[in-house]
Homo-oligomer: A and B are copies of this chain.
Amino acid sequence: MKLEEIAHKLGGTLHGDGSLEIDRVASLDAAGDGAISYIAGERYINQFKKSRASAFIVPKGLLHDSKPCVEVADIQLAFVTALELFASVPKPLGLMPGAHVDKGAIVGKDSSIYGGAYIGRSTLGERVKVYPGAFIGDDCNIGNDTVIYPNVVIMDGIDVGERVIIHGGTVIGGDGYGFVWDGGRHRKIPQIGTVVIGDDVEIGANCAIDRAALSKTEIRQGAKIDNLVHIAHNCIIGENSLLAGQVGFAGSVEVGRNVAMGGQAGVSGHLKIGDGVIIAGKAGVTKDLQAGEKVAGFPAISHREWLRVQKSLEKLPEMRKTLKDMAHKIEKLETLEEKDA
């Protein structure tokens, strides 16, 4: 692709030779002849100078020497667009040898079902990809353009939207964890609900998202979930919310839109987390949170308050010492006072 074409597609301003042929995107360090790289800001200027890339995407105003450049308003978005320009789009494969597809299954056109995939009596949209070892049970609906990576498990009756990406080993629709004590044993509460995954959701590797007891567990449109996340039965994860690695939820938590949770954070059961809440990594949320709250720690408190407590904590051993000294001084004062009296 010619550099002028790239400049045009990024909506940027071309500096230098537009006829330059570019065949890939690479980091400043790794780039060589034929690659376009990008510089995110001033602090990469030395790497930029040393880089052997043929051309660069640069943020507006950043000086660009004599190297061929495309100057753009939003460097992050331009970079993503450039990556997309060079992404290979593999041809659809259809049903590959060794794929198990139930006679009652419906698979839309231009889909790719790899050998070793197992698809029950379910409906798959168009341009869906199901990799080897992935399992889709009966009565599922999988939307157009969805990608299901190797060894993903989607149990019976699950709905998955369009353009969803599910990474390797993730299990969707396992039974929720529900038991009732029956004298001498835990008796299983049958989990007959489902899971509904909205459009444009991405779910990382080796996550576990349980089916609801009676109704549905929901991951709503645009939510992005990192690896090894545990979502218990009846939870709702709101639109565009972000869950970092190893986050966990007890049952029936309702998470609003645009919530962000740091890694290894957890939420107790039956709580409501308002829109736009930010939960720091490792936090443990034990009560409802209002829209826009920012919390940290366990039990989670306001982030500002948590910082104050942490600062005080460091001083705690010193405080104990001060307290002892003061007790001594007071005692002395009291003795003197008695003498006076």
A: which residues have CB within 8 A of B? 25-27, 29-30, 76-77, 79-80, 83-84, 87, 98, 100, 114-116, 118, 131-133, 135, 149-151, 153, 155, 165, 167-171, 174-175, 177, 179-180, 182, 185-190, 192, 200, 202, 204-208, 210, 214-215, 222, 224, 226-228, 230, 232, 240, 242, 244-246, 248-250, 263-264, 266, 268, 281-282, 284, 298-299, 301, 305, 308-317, 319-320, 322-323, 326-327, 329-330, 333-334, 336-337, 340-341
Question: How far apart are A82's CB and chain B's nearest CB, in angstroms?
Answer: 9
Which chain B residue has the least Cβ–Cβ distance from A322?
Answer: B323
Give the CA-CA distance A282 to B265 in the complex, in Å.
9
A240 in contact with B185 (CB, 8 Å): yes
Which chain B residue has the least Cβ–Cβ distance from A339?
Answer: B341
Indicate the member of A83, A153, A167 with the most B CB atoms within 10 Å.
A153
A185 proximity list for chain B (CB < 8 A): 200, 222, 240
Give the CA-CA distance A132 to B133 in the complex, in Å.
8
B240 in contact with A186 (CB, 8 Å): yes
A244 proximity list for chain B (CB < 8 A): 177, 250
Which chain B residue has the least Cβ–Cβ distance from A313?
Answer: B309
Question: How far apart are A214's CB and chain B's nearest CB, in angstroms?
Answer: 4
A245: contacting residue among B30, B114, B230, CB under 8 A: B230
4 extra A-B contacts, CB within 8 A, seeds A268-B281, A326-B326: A131-B135, A177-B244, A308-B317, A329-B334
A250: contacting residue among B202, B245, B319, CB under 8 A: B245
A309 in contact with B317 (CB, 8 Å): yes
Question: How far apart are A274's CB and chain B's nearest CB, in angstroms?
Answer: 19
Give the CA-CA distance A171 to B26 in the complex, in Å.
24
Give the CA-CA distance A287 to B168 in the complex, in Å.
31
Integer count of this chain's copies in the complex: 3
Question: How far apart are A152's CB and chain B's nearest CB, in angstroms?
Answer: 8
A205 in contact with B168 (CB, 8 Å): no
Q: Contacts A133-B118, A329-B334, A334-B329 given: A228-B208 contact, CB under 8 Å?
A: yes
Q: Contacts A77-B182, A319-B320 given: A100-B100 contact, CB under 8 Å?
A: no
Question: How far apart are A227's CB and chain B's nearest CB, in angstroms?
Answer: 4
A115 in contact with B100 (CB, 8 Å): yes
Give the CA-CA distance A222 to B177 in the complex, in Å.
14
A87 in contact with B177 (CB, 8 Å): no
A322 proximity list for chain B (CB < 8 A): 323, 327
Give the CA-CA distance A151 to B131 in the complex, in Å.
13
Question: How far apart are A39's CB and chain B's nearest CB, in angstroms?
Answer: 13
A190 in contact with B153 (CB, 8 Å): no
Give the CA-CA distance A116 to B114 in the complex, in Å.
12
A284 proximity list for chain B (CB < 8 A): 264, 281-282
A155 proximity list for chain B (CB < 8 A): 149-150, 168
Question: How far apart are A201's CB and chain B's nearest CB, in angstroms?
Answer: 10
B263 in contact with A263 (CB, 8 Å): no
Which chain B residue has the least Cβ–Cβ distance from A82?
Answer: B190
B227 in contact with A208 (CB, 8 Å): yes
Q: Contacts A185-B200, A206-B169, A323-B323 given: A29-B222 contact, CB under 8 Å?
A: no
A249 proximity list for chain B (CB < 8 A): 245
Q: Contacts A77-B182, A334-B329 given: A263-B245 contact, CB under 8 Å?
A: no
